[in-house]
């Protein structure tokens, strides 16, 4: 298709990766249009538990650098929590210890320490980390993009060649499976139960290696998010009532007050898992450039700003392929 909008960048995808990347571009003076098949509130990002912590993402070294950049942004945004949806919240990361694998974050997260026996019955860490209210955060990202004169268009894309711009940024997440196509991107299904918060103020993540389960609870201003599941290669978006009951029971075993909490909603999200994040510049035969930024697994929120800034840099004419 003939390029009729020289100098413009089209970002395909309106999840946290797409919107953050679009903001990074727009605030750097680039004319940006976001093409979104679904509104942000219907993306996988809207379902995310959204605790800042690297989860199911490779390569580790790059992911840690992206995560630390994002952490700095979230710490700043937490100063306007009601607007941005970002809060710094204390909690327990079960089955974790301060060792060499966590040396990269040990000096960066204030107050990171071993949890006491009263805080958790087992080896765990106590930390104060960003916790995002994703519906609120996605709304804020959208408004920030519009203030920077970016635009958002409801549009389904069957082929990246449809984008009539010299530079396209592919932030389609799981959609890249068909769109690129990239069969190495696959879903890891996560089911959540949303309940009324019975007064819980701290988050908790607990892993049972024997049962193969990860249980978590994340307090949001108007609800408590309970999880979860890691169902490999499962494309179903339909909540399973049996699984939902199991999630509530596992969470209640950790915090008994959850047992009587009224259920508000059931949600399912498909994490876009890949052996490693694809963040690279591709020059097409017709000279157009595609910057790929997808495959972040369950850590899209954690690395969003670091990846967005790198992707924005790759749109520059002097960037290497």
**Residue 301 marked in a binding site:** yes
**Residue 271 marked in a binding site:** yes
**Residue 116 marked in a binding site:** no
Structure tokens at 43: 């993306």
Write the DSSP symbol of residue 212: T
Among residues 59, 58, 38, 40, the alpha carbon closest in space to that of 48 is found at 40
36 CB-contact burial (10 Å; exposed 0-12 / middle 13-18 / buried 19+)? buried
**Residue 318 marked in a binding site:** no
Distance in angstroms (rounded) separating the CA atoms of residues 30 and 141: 16
Structure tokens at 255: 């915090």
**Residue 299 marked in a binding site:** yes
Among residues 123, 84, 56, 93, the alpha carbon closest in space to that of 202 is found at 93
**Residue 44 marked in a binding site:** yes
**Residue 297 marked in a binding site:** yes
Distance in angstroms (rounded) separating the CA atoms of residues 21 and 172: 12
Distance in angstroms (rounded) separating the CA atoms of residues 286 and 141: 33
**Residue 287 marked in a binding site:** no
**Residue 298 marked in a binding site:** yes
Query: Which residues are documented as binding site for FAD?
Result: 44-45, 172, 297-302
Query: Which residues are documented as binding site?
Result: 44-45, 172, 216, 271, 297-302
Query: Which residues are documented as binding site for D-dopa?
Result: 216, 271, 298
């Amino acid at each position: 298709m003939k390029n009729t909008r020289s100098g413009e960048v089209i970002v395909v995808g309106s999840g946290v990766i797409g919107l953050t990347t679009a903001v990074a571009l727009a605030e750097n003076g680039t004319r940006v249009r976001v093409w979104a098949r679904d509104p942000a509130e219907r993306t996988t990002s809207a379902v995310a538990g959204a605790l800042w912590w690297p989860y199911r993402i490779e390569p580790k070294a790059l992911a840690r650098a992206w995560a630390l950049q994002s952490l700095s942004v979230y710490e700043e945004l937490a100063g306007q929590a009601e607007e941005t949806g970002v809060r710094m919240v204390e909690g327990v990361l079960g089955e974790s210890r301060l060792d060499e694998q966590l040396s990269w974050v040990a000096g960066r997260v204030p107050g990171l320490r071993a949890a006491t026996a009263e805080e958790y019955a087992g080896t765990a860490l106590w930390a104060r980390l960003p916790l995002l209210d994703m519906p609120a955060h996605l709304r804020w990202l959208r408004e920030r993009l519009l203030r920077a004169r970016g635009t958002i268009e409801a549009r389904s894309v069957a082929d990246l060649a449809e984008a009539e711009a010299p530079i396209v940024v592919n932030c389609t997440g799981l959609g890249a499976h068909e769109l690129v196509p990239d069969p190495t991107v696959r879903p890891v299904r996560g089911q959540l139960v949303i309940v009324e918060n019975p007064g819980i103020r701290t988050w908790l993540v607990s892993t049972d290696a024997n049962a193969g389960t990860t249980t978590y609870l994340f307090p949001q201003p108007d609800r408590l998010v309970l999880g979860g599941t890691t169902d490999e290669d499962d494309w179903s978006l339909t909540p399973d009532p049996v699984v939902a009951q199991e999630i509530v029971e596992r969470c209640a075993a950790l915090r008994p007050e959850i047992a009587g909490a009224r259920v508000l909603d059931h949600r399912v999200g498909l994490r876009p898992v890949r052996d490693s994040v694809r963040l690279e510049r591709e020059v097409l035969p017709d000279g157009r450039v595609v910057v790929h930024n997808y495959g972040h697994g369950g850590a899209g929120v954690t690395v969003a700003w670091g990846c967005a800034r790198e992707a924005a840099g790759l749109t520059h004419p002097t960037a290497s392929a």
